[in-house]
Chain A
Amino acid sequence: MKLLKYFLIGIYFGVVLIKGEVISWFRIQEMFHFRSFYMYGVLGSAVVVGVISVALIRTFRIRAAGGAEIKLTGKPFNRVGNLAGGIIFGLGWALTGACPGPLYALLGAGYWAVLLAIAGALAGTVAYGYLKPHLPH
């Protein structure tokens, strides 16, 4: 039952990804070629809403459902990992036109070819898992 909550939030996210067109190869290439403001508006306003939400939670010490204090510590800074990993991710994002959320959304939208990309992403995860001890972070 606890998982149902996250499934429902996932449904909401899936609807927004599809209706917002952010899963479209067309939109991603358009963004990287600066041919429209759309994706910049989407990402920018999403971050603005996120920043305001976090600020409100901090200011009013809002608690999570169940009463626990909400954890607001960010991920650790890895100079090489964040930048090199980020660049590799960006190369893949622009090539496929999809990041991980959209990979799942495209499956739901019936684009079966995306299974190739999901298989690729899982293979990339396995490769990283084995190379991690040998990579600078």
Chain B
Amino acid sequence: MLGLLSQSWPWYVTGPLLGLMVPLLLMLGNKQFGVSSSLQHMCAAALPLKAGYFQYNWKEQAWNLALVAGVVAGAAIAVLVLDGGRAPAISNSARALFASWGVVSVDALQPAELFSLEHLFSARTLVTLLFGGFLVGFGARYAGGCTSGHAVMGLSLLNFGSLVAVIGFFIGGLLMSHLVVPFVMAL
């Protein structure tokens, strides 16, 4: 079993297991799957912010913080026990594309060019992680959800607003990935 879990998972294993988050949370907790609201709860819990957006009893949403704490633990288990830190089996054409951007090392989950600590304060890493993270947080809260809350949970409910948000995710993602990322990687 452990051996089987440790192999690379094809999409038809990953996808359904991801989709099971919807009935798991609905049936075990009567909660709708979502991750990005945890950002709001953390700000409300830890920072002295006066804006109305942070004035609510975050403890009522503590389940969401427990969920993301579990994600951290689960990821560590996946890497340490289930050989989860290996390079993804990306296509040869993706490999060639990344090489043309100067990203040649596909030997772990993430490119060393962005995530190694020696590059931490390079312009490339700061733009990618700090500014990119800002857009993720701002956009997810403005849209009212992220890939979990809108793409998986919202589409599962056939919710129209979630479909609009997911279309937005792909408009923004295509623009950034095609027009900006190649230049950022050259920094």
Whether B159 contacts A74 by the Cβ 8 Å rule is yes
Whether A95 contacts B15 by the Cβ 8 Å rule is no
Secondary structure class of chain B's binding surface, majority of residues: helix
Whether B23 contacts A53 by the Cβ 8 Å rule is yes
Binary A-proximity of B128-148 (CB < 8 A = 1, otherwise 0)? 111111111111111111111
Whether A104 contacts B29 by the Cβ 8 Å rule is no
Whether A81 contacts B157 by the Cβ 8 Å rule is no
Residue among B5, B17, B129, B168 making CB contact with A86, cutoff 8 Å: B168
* CB-CB nearest in chain B for A77: B161
Whether A50 contacts B138 by the Cβ 8 Å rule is no
Whether B135 contacts A77 by the Cβ 8 Å rule is no
Secondary structure class of chain A's binding surface, majority of residues: helix
Whether A124 contacts B73 by the Cβ 8 Å rule is no
Sample of 16 further A-B pairs with CB below 8 A, known A91-B172, A92-B132, A94-B174? A5-B29, A16-B14, A20-B9, A32-B174, A37-B11, A42-B11, A44-B15, A79-B164, A82-B164, A83-B164, A85-B142, A91-B175, A93-B172, A100-B146, A103-B136, A129-B43
Residue B104 lies at the interface, judged by CB distance under 8 Å to chain A: no
Residue among A5, A25, A47, A129 making CB contact with B141, cutoff 8 Å: A129
Tell which of A12, A76, A129 has the most Cβ of chain B within 10 Å. A129
Residue among B18, B71, B134 making CB contact with A105, cutoff 8 Å: B71
State which size class the interface on A falls in.
35 or more
In the bound complex, what is the Cα–Cα distance between A62 and B27 (angstroms)?
Answer: 8
Whether B137 contacts A128 by the Cβ 8 Å rule is yes
17 intermolecular pairs with C-beta atoms under 8 Å apart: A41-B12, A42-B11, A45-B12, A45-B15, A53-B26, A53-B156, A70-B26, A72-B26, A75-B162, A82-B144, A85-B141, A95-B132, A99-B146, A116-B130, A119-B133, A127-B134, A129-B54
Residues on the B chain within 8 Å of A89, using CB: 135-136, 138-140, 142-143, 146, 165, 168-169, 172
Residue among A9, A50, A86 making CB contact with B67, cutoff 8 Å: A9
